[in-house]
């Protein structure tokens, strides 16, 4: 039982180490939050608000200062420090707009929401069971801008766990989308997707096509179908379709895995964007593989296409850089559960063996037979009324009687 208690303790400790971070859904549609009711947030709209929406959708002019106001209710029983952080919208690896973490923006980005909010981040303290009104200052660009500026305000519980050196977040957070435009009546901007940083990596067991699909336009495009093909001698080897929502001036990291190795032949790589039924060619490249004697360290077969990513903000992490830790965390938990199952099995098996053995019959060393009364030999000629003599006398009488019989008289 001591071993079993130790294993259970390890499982409890490990489960408290961290949790999967909360990602916002595809807003601007609503306010998003984790399921634990620690605090509540709702935006307070101003005269610049476009429509009755649950996020900040503002038509605002250049060179202005505007307060983004929010109502925060602390549902806890203790004061709470809440961090308010402005994040520029980007496109995630899964093809959705990412509002909850800094990601990669395209070099064409002129104005980012994170650079227009001050202070960023901001810490506010909300007393227990209290609703307060807070605001952050928005400083619009000095000149008019085309399209939209898109991002979000992320409100999260500020605690030491959030600053874990391992990078694993364990937090409760709301994200409220923010969209800024000069005029709601401006003409929609035409899509102009491009490809950058393309690589084709053949390997001994599989091959991968990696590329950055750029949206250099300050507009939000939804349900764009990216079609990727790899042809060998005119026959399709890879035929992949991915639906993507592109944030303004952002990059979608396209990754396509081919399960088999690339055999020698003449190849053509094609990437297209399907926009409302019209195809836009993004990339076309022809190459040859002349030998099957390559390995995973072979130079990538596509050259001359440079990266167009903006560097991440200082202290920010790539949105997928922590996936390895999640898998390690899950692997350790599974191993500990396997150890627990093994210990329980051994314990159960030992109990069954003990029950199957017959119970031993214990003989007491103090068991004695009851004493039998002494038997006396009484001659037949003695009267039945005669007293029984002592043991020594009986022996002498018997001996004399025998002698008389032996003597013949």
Domain residue spans of the chain: 25-188, 194-289, 322-352
Handedness of CA 217, 218, 224, 227 (dihedral sign): positive
SS3 54: coil
Strand order in the sheet with 235-246: 235-246, 221-232, 265-275, 278-289
pLDDT, one tens digit per residue, over 116-155 is 999 899 999 999 999 999 999 999 999 999 999 999 999 9
DSSP 320-345: TTTHHHHHHHHHHHHHHHHHHHHHHH
Question: Which CATH fold would you assign to the domain 194-289?
Answer: Immunoglobulin-like (2.60.40)
DSSP 374-400: PP----TTS-TTSPPPPHHHHHHHHHH
pLDDT, one tens digit per residue, over 47-88 is 999 988 899 999 999 999 999 999 999 998 999 999 999 999
pLDDT in single tens digits along all 409 residues of the chain: 544 455 445 444 444 443 333 333 333 433 444 445 589 999 999 999 998 889 999 999 999 999 999 999 999 899 999 999 999 999 999 999 999 999 989 999 999 999 999 989 999 999 999 999 999 999 999 999 999 999 999 999 865 544 445 555 466 889 999 999 998 778 889 999 998 888 877 766 777 888 899 999 999 999 999 999 989 888 998 889 999 999 999 999 998 888 887 788 888 888 999 988 888 898 888 878 776 545 433 445 554 455 566 654 433 333 333 333 344 556 667 777 777 877 777 777 776 666 665 555 444 444 445 555 555 444 544 444 444 444 444 444 444 444 444 444 4
**Quick one: pLDDT at residue 170?**
60
Q: What secondary structure letter does DSSP report for 208?
A: E
Q: What is the pTM of this model?
A: 0.64
What mean pLDDT value characterizes the chain?
A: 74
- Candidates 288, 240, 242; CA nearest to 262 is 288
Rounded Cα gap, residues 232 and 295, in angstroms:
19
- End-to-end Cα separation, the chain, in angstroms: 91
Rounded Cα gap, residues 82 and 159, in angstroms:
9
Rounded Cα gap, residues 275 and 281, in angstroms:
11
Selected from 3.50.30.30, 2.60.40.10, 1.20.120.80, 2.40.50.100, the CATH number assigned to the domain covering 25-188 reads: 2.60.40.10
Rounded Cα gap, residues 103 and 90, in angstroms:
6
SS3 230: strand
Rounded Cα gap, residues 97 and 90, in angstroms:
6
Q: How many secondary structure helices (H) and strands (E) does the chain include?
A: 4, 19
Rounded Cα gap, residues 35 and 171, in angstroms:
11
């Amino acid at each position: 039982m001591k071993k079993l208690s130790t294993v259970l303790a390890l499982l409890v400790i490990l489960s408290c180490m961290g949790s999967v971070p909360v990602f916002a859904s595809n807003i601007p549609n609503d306010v998003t939050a984790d399921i634990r009711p620690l605090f509540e947030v709702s935006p307070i709209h101003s005269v610049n608000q476009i429509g009755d929406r649950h996020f900040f959708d503002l038509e605002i002019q250049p060179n202005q200062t505007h307060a983004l106001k929010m109502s925060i209710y602390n549902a806890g029983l203790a004061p709470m420090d809440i961090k308010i952080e402005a994040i520029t919208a980007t496109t995630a690896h899964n093809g959705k707009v990412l509002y909850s973490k800094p990601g990669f923006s395209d070099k064409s980005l002129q104005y980012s929401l994170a650079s227009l909010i001050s202070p960023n981040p901001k810490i506010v303290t909300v007393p227990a069971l209290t609703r307060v009104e807070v605001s952050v200052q928005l400083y619009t660009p000095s000149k008019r801008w085309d399209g939209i500026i898109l991002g979000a305000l992320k409100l999260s519980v500020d605690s030491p766990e959030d600053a874990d050196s391992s990078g694993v977040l364990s937090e409760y957070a709301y994200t409220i989308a923010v969209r800024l435009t000069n005029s709601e009546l401006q003409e929609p901007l035409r899509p102009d997707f491009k490809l950058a940083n393309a690589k084709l990596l053949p390997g001994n067991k599989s091959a991968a096509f990696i590329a950055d699909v750029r949206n250099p336009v300050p507009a939000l495009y939804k349900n764009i179908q990216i079609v990727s093909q790899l042809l060998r001698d005119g026959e399709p080897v890879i035929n992949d379709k991915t639906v993507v929502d592109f944030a303004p001036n952002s990059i979608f990291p396209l990754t396509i895995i081919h399960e088999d190795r690339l055999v020698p032949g003449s190849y053509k790589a094609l990437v297209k964007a399907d926009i409302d039924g019209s195809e836009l060619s993004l990339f076309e490249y022809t190459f040859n593989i002349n030998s099957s004697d390559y390995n995973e360290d072979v130079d990538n077969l596509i050259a001359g296409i440079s990266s167009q990513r903006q560097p991440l903000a200082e202290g920010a992490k790539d949105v997928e850089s922590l996936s390895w830790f999640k898998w390690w965390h899950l692997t350790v938990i599974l191993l500990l559960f396997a150890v627990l199952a093994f210990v329980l099995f051994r314990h159960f098996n030992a109990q069954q063996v003990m029950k199957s053995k017959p119970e031993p019959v214990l003989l007491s060393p103090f068991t004695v037979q009851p004493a039998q009364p002494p038997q006396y030999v009484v001659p037949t000629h003695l009267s039945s009324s005669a007293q029984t003599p002592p043991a020594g006398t009986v022996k002498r009488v018997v001996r004399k009687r025998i002698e008389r019989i032996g003597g013949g008289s």
